[in-house]
Amino acid sequence: MSEFFAMGGYAAFVWPSYGIAFGVMAGLLVWAWTSARNGEAEVERLRAAGIDPRRRQAGEGVQG
């Protein structure tokens, strides 16, 4: 087991690599998730208050 963690003497390079790769990807996903959740919750809050952002946009037209 300790042999596994020692990585043939290269533990100081192998483990930080995995830590950075998975840490950055986890951070990216958490940020993307919370930003989507917060933004959509705010839209929902305003809509519940009787203001519909989507209806306000009507007339601008949806291209496509």
Residues near another protein (CB under 8 A): 4, 7-10, 13-14, 16-18, 20-22, 24-25, 27-29, 32-33, 35-36, 38-40, 42-43, 46, 51, 53-54, 56-57, 60, 62-64
Helix and strand element counts for the chain (H, E): 3, 0
Closer Cβ to another protein, 29 or 48, answer by number: 29
Contact call for residues 7 and 14 (beta carbons, < 8 A)? yes
Place of tokens 């390079």: 13
Smallest distance, another protein to C-beta of residue 48, A:
13
